Structure 1
Amino acid sequence: MSSECQGKSSWPELLGVFGATAVAIIERDNPLVTAIIVPPGSSVIFDFRCDRVWVYVDNNGNVDRVPRIG
């Protein structure tokens, strides 16, 4: 997490929540970010961005890592 990012930056309470539900909650909590579901086995870009949250999900579509800005 970087101090220049505004608004809520992590969502530990969303572990185990269905991915699409988590995306809606994240974007409601911090309208400055876009939340993106990452299916199992997918790769992501590792550059840090204040306007993006990767939402990693398991094979059932549930969040399996704490979503955070990055």
Structure 2
Amino acid sequence: MSHQHRYPPFESDFCADLECCGSGYKTMWRNTLGMEGKRAKSIIENDNPLVTALIIHKGHAVLDDFCCNRVWIFINEHGKVASVPMVG
């Protein structure tokens, strides 16, 4: 069982890639492309209870640190997921 906490605070446990952070849970959500951001957030947090999914408009600035318990959900002007959400 992982000792990770939900974001925030930042947590990487010295990981620098998706596989290291997985802890047996899903780390990438291709199936959410094009769906409503709030629905994607619900799916992501259900699939991986160690992460907090944050919805942000594509093109807005985000932290570029790698974080095992955070998923950025980039949405377009219509509120739809615009790129594949993943841990980091």
Question: 2-side partners of 1:65 and 1:40: how far apart?
Answer: 9
Secondary structure of the 1:3 match is helix
Higher Cα Rg: structure 1 or 2?
2
Alignment of 1:28-67 (within 5 A): 28-67=46-85
Q: Distance in 2 between matches of 1:68 and 1:29?
A: 12
Name the CA distance, whole Å, in 2 between partners of 1:40 and 1:50. 21
- TM-score, normalised to structure 1's length? 0.93
Aligned-partner residue type, residue 41 of structure 1:
G
Q: Where in structure 2 are there 5+ consecutive unaligned residues?
A: 1-16
Q: Which runs of 5+ in 1 are unaligned?
A: none
Q: Distance in 2 between matches of 1:67 and 1:35?
A: 9
Note if 1:69 corresponds to 2:87. yes
Corresponding residue for residue 3 of structure 1: 19
What is the RMSD of the two structures over their aligned residues, measured on CA atoms? 1.0
Give the counterpart letter for 1:2 in structure 2.
L
User: What is the letter of the counterpart of residue 20 of structure 2?
Assistant: E
Deviates more, 1:1-10 or 1:58-67: 1-10
In structure 1, C-alpha distance between the alignment counterparts of 2:42 and 2:18, rounded to whole Å? 23
How high is the TM-score relative to the length of structure 2? 0.75
